[in-house]
Structure 1
Amino acid sequence: MRRTMRLRTVLCIFAVSALVGVSFLRTRTELFAKDPKARSTLNATTLSPSQRPDLRDRPVRPPQDYLAIHIDYEDEDRHLAEAAFWPSPPSAGLIRNGAKGNFPVTNPKYTTYRLVNPRDSYTIECNVWLESGTPHCDYSDPYAGVTWVCDKPRTLSCDRRVNHWVDYEASSVYCPLSDGQKDLINIEGQSFKAVLAGSPEFVHVKTMGKKMLSMLPRPRCAPGLPDPYPAMGYFIKDIWTSTVCKTRHFKSSQYLDCLQNKELYFMGDSTGRQWFELLVDTLRLKHMNTDPFITRRAGPHLAINEKRNITVRFRVHGYPLRTGGLNVSHVNFLAREIDTIHGGPGYVLVISVWAHFTSFHLDIYIERMRAIRAAILRLLSRSPGTLVVLKTANTRTGVPRLNSDWYAHVLDRLLRKLFENLKVVILDVWDLTLAHRNRDEIHPVRDVVRQEVQLLLSFVCPDYETQKA
């Protein structure tokens, strides 16, 4: 009988050193209200890429709204002059976020993966890099910016792989946290954050009323806009309004009109898959998968509406992957997958690559994104009418050994740098997820995902009149 192997992922925390202090000296905050009538319906608002509804993750409840500003990521003194969107004396505080000493900046690997053969009961390590001296199975793809190797099994050939999965319990065994590292993780599972003592209790918000509207000119949502850093906006009644461009607020019935005769391909991690799933549910698309071994988490997925000529796809980005039950035959690295699509007017490519890279050295992320960038350039060269959207990271809680808003923020900065001056959309959802009344989650709640998709559709159909229906 043919013997097969399964892949198991074992997750290790980064080597964590002492917190690097962040300077808040001479920091001054000026807040201005936009609409005095918004207070009674406001859920939360955001002014910087690092705000939270409440410093301790408590939901805000009008009229006692909370405004929390997470001021500094780069050891700099800041003078903030930001716009608030409702009048009141909100509470204010400063959060210290662990800086470079906490994250993988020198070691190429901080996550261990395992290749497991259940029949022979042995475990083999896989990773982006392994010590030399033993035979390896090399599954790397330099064209796609992927380095991936495993120790060679004693009795199986390298092509006898079947499944890849994650094992969080084994991670705690192989990579236990030190006492010092455990102290950096609070009871919410949010690592490397601390509220600074002596934070100001209140900030006075001046009412400027409708005059504020003329101070916020918003262009049409389109590729090539200046990088909105930080991107700002506000929630009212769970509806997000961006100050970066003229966001549209689509009713569910209007999704069909906007997406008629269009094809959307979501590539990347599960935060992008959430967009795919929302569209499938909202549009009541028909799933076309025929392979019984395709998993919900990894895909590839295909769903259509034949009458409206709408096609929506999803595919996971490939190793490293902290997911389970993945048949390795379904893995195709994104640079190669992008080379297979036709593109053109009516074609939307959405890339979301970040969540599985927060336990690796920056070079691993850069290598992958450079290959994806080259593939996008080839796509835009052969099909210049293609709309390419790069989704940023969102804030999160969850598995402490993987959770770092600071490091996700660093990846976001790299993403912007790699794709600057290209005619693509950097769709910033960082502030959107921070501002919502729900706590931060690696997989945001459906209300948040819907607003992310609304923002996406504002670029897909920027001229659609959402008030007409």
Structure 2
Amino acid sequence: MNTIKTIYLILCIFAISFLSRFWMSEWKWYAQFLRLKLKSKEEPDVGFDNKRDADPNKILQEADDIYQLISSTKPLFDIPPFERSTSAHNSKYYIMNPTEVHSTGNLLYTYVETYDYQGNRKTTGGDFFRARIYDKKTLTAAVGSITDFNNGSYLVTFPLYWEGTVYISIKLQYSSEMVSLIHRLRDIDNYRMGFRGIFLSKNYKEMTKCHFNLTFTGPLCDLYYHNSGIKWMCEKPKNLSCENLSSLEYYFNEPSLSEAEKKFDDRKNVLKEIRPVGASSVIVKKQGSNINLPKCQSHPLTYTNSTGFVQNHTWISSLCQVKRFRTSERVIQCIKGKKIYLVGDSTIRQWFEYLVKIIPTLSKVNVGRNQWYSEKLAVDLTNNIYLQWRTHGLPWHPGVPLMLPDSPSAVSLINNIYGGKEFITVICLGAHFTRYPLKVYLETLIHVRNAVKRLLGRSPDTTVILKNGNTRTPYKLLLDNDWLTYELNQAFVAAFMGMNVSLVDAWDLTAAYESAELHPSEEVIKNEVDVLFSYICPNID
């Protein structure tokens, strides 16, 4: 008991120092975002400027600026022995104010100290945690935010949304050494995957290599219609023309790892609980009356640490009034007369399938050849509802040959949307980009962002909504994991920062749910769609 009191006194002495560093770090991160957005403009953003925003050098510079901002962990080319990597079992956390009376609306601070497998104190940062508070009795949970002091210690901040007993879970998802390995494989070793172009002419077939960074010096075939700014090319076949390109076939080679590095490619070391020193829960009392949140409306996008919590299977936003759309009548009341364009990966295709399921008058139109990537279309002639889903173009990994006419780029799709107050455009890019260098994703994002600027420039009443990536269990531990998705989500917000768009924060929602599925459950989809429709119809009763 005396040991715990001593620890608590030490923490109290240093609490002000840690918290001041925390707020300085948070403000510095946000201020960097502001400087980044202001750096590229000397006047208010009044929409797309063809000379300014389409300049290839400017796009590359902005991609590099965002990369430097969010990619704080530099890859180690010499990974230390596994025994010197961060160990969840040896690390520990403390509640910084365990005896304090906690109230809703306040913040709970925990301090994490990390140690390696040999019991030595870590002196560098870069570990990736999953921090969560919960109450199993009321099926309530929310996620915390991490501040890295870059010395082996971390501050985890939890918003206290509900009253009662709040339990703490802090898991080490990936050690800093594993993050460094993941980072290196993503940004440097990018020739282990790409596509093979299948060129056909009657019964004659040729196959060539296709990539965004070809070193081939011969003639090339430009896949300009299927990319969003990235120069995806195929080597031209010897005997056929580029017009004979029929489809693309994805290929992947396992990364080359040293024997020491292979020890990190082990799922038994992932998502392990860090033990508490002292209490692992607090009692929270209700403070004051309920806060009246504003209606969900588009506004200049900003970075937000926490966007809400889940309680009794329902997502409760901390930003705006999220309403429930669980019956076909209520959904139709919201989207009657609307044209909804879903542009993105299969996690947003789930929204299409869910809406077709719950709206009996919404009928599918068979317009595609492949269930995984071809266009999906549904119409409701009675209520004048148009619903379309299309892929975002390359890269796309369907598991079968990709027929190019079925996969136009996100930029070309957005360019073809006329826009207006009855038009809803939803964009989701992420899951298919985790294996590619971050700058490839950033350049794609900037081109997509510029297409959205053009759309809003010609039709300011158009509603544009973004959806970020969700948590998942990786198919390939080092290549499809949550750290990669988290960085893509950071880039997603950075690229659209300051634009008049809305965000469905699938990351916060699925992390609170502890969802481990690439394609979340229907319960999660229902909550995501509730947020979507709350932005489309903020004034619905």
TM-score range, shorter chain: 0.7 to 0.9
The alignment status of 1:235 with 2:310, answered yes or no, reads yes
Partner residue in 2 for 1:347: 423
Letter in 1 for 2:347: T
Question: Structure 2 length normalisation: TM-score?
Answer: 0.69
Partner residue in 2 for 1:306: 381
Equivalent pair of 1:66/1:90 in contact (CA under 8 Å)? no
Letter in 2 for 1:208: K
Partners of 1:252 and 1:149 lie apart in 2 by: 46
The partner residue of 1:411 within 481, 488, 508 is: 488
The alignment status of 1:444 with 2:520, answered yes or no, reads yes
Partner residue in 1 for 2:333: 257
TM-superposed CA distance for 1:33, in Å, is 6.5
C-alpha change, 1:436 and 1:313, in structure 2 (3 Å) is same
SS across alignment from 1:397: coil
* Structure 1 residues 389-411: Cα deviation after superposition (integer angstroms, max 9, x where no partner): 11111111131153221121111
The partner residue of 1:184 within 254, 258, 264 is: 264
The alignment status of 1:164 with 2:239, answered yes or no, reads no
Partners of 2:192 and 2:448 lie apart in 1 by: 23
TM-superposed CA distance for 1:462, in Å, is 0.9
TM-superposed CA distance for 1:362, in Å, is 1.3
SS across alignment from 2:167: coil
- Between Structure 1 and Structure 2, the one with more strand by share is 2
Letter in 2 for 1:310: I
Partner residue in 2 for 1:62: 137
The partner residue of 1:149 within 211, 233, 236 is: 233
C-alpha change, 1:380 and 1:110, in structure 2 (3 Å) is farther
Equivalent pair of 1:112/1:127 in contact (CA under 8 Å)? yes
Partners of 1:256 and 1:272 lie apart in 2 by: 19
The partner residue of 1:320 within 374, 392, 395 is: 395
Partner residue in 2 for 1:102: 182
- Higher-Rg structure is 2
TM-superposed CA distance for 1:450, in Å, is 1.0
The alignment status of 1:359 with 2:441, answered yes or no, reads no
Partners of 1:51 and 1:443 lie apart in 2 by: 22
Letter in 2 for 1:343: G
TM-superposed CA distance for 1:65, in Å, is 7.8
1:16-415 aligned at under 5 Å gives the runs: 18=79, 28=95, 32=102, 34=104, 50-51=130-131, 61-62=136-137, 71=146, 75=150, 77-78=154-155, 80-88=157-165, 90-97=167-174, 98=176, 99-103=179-183, 104-106=186-188, 109=191, 111-116=193-198, 123-140=207-224, 144-166=228-250, 171=252, 175=255, 179-187=259-267, 193-195=270-272, 198-200=275-277, 202-209=279-286, 211=287, 213-214=289-290, 216-224=291-299, 227=302, 229-253=304-328, 254-284=330-360, 285-291=362-368, 293=369, 295-323=370-398, 324-400=400-476, 401-415=478-492
Name structure 2 gaps, 5 residues minimum.
1-74, 106-127
Partners of 1:22 and 1:316 lie apart in 2 by: 40
Partners of 1:317 and 1:436 lie apart in 2 by: 27
C-alpha change, 1:73 and 1:264, in structure 2 (3 Å) is farther
C-alpha change, 1:279 and 1:64, in structure 2 (3 Å) is closer
* Structure 1 residues 22-54: Cα deviation after superposition (integer angstroms, max 9, x where no partner): 99898755695659xxxxxxxxxxxx9944589
TM-superposed CA distance for 1:114, in Å, is 2.2
TM-superposed CA distance for 1:463, in Å, is 1.3
C-alpha change, 1:82 and 1:134, in structure 2 (3 Å) is same
Name structure 1 gaps, 5 residues minimum.
1-14, 36-47, 55-59
Partners of 1:266 and 1:303 lie apart in 2 by: 12
Letter in 2 for 1:460: I
Letter in 2 for 1:463: N
SS across alignment from 1:273: helix
* Structure 1 residues 230-255: Cα deviation after superposition (integer angstroms, max 9, x where no partner): 23322223111111111101231311
Q: CA RMSD in A?
A: 3.5
C-alpha change, 1:219 and 1:114, in structure 2 (3 Å) is same
1 or 2 for the larger relative contact order (CA 8 Å, sep ≥6)? 1
C-alpha change, 1:109 and 1:217, in structure 2 (3 Å) is farther
C-alpha change, 1:460 and 1:443, in structure 2 (3 Å) is same
Partners of 1:446 and 1:159 lie apart in 2 by: 42
Partners of 1:77 and 1:91 lie apart in 2 by: 15
Q: Would you say how many aligned residue pairs link Structure 1 and Structure 2? A: 422
- Between Structure 1 and Structure 2, the one with more helix by share is 2
Partners of 1:212 and 1:74 lie apart in 2 by: 34
Question: Structure 1 length normalisation: TM-score?
Answer: 0.79
Letter in 2 for 1:396: R
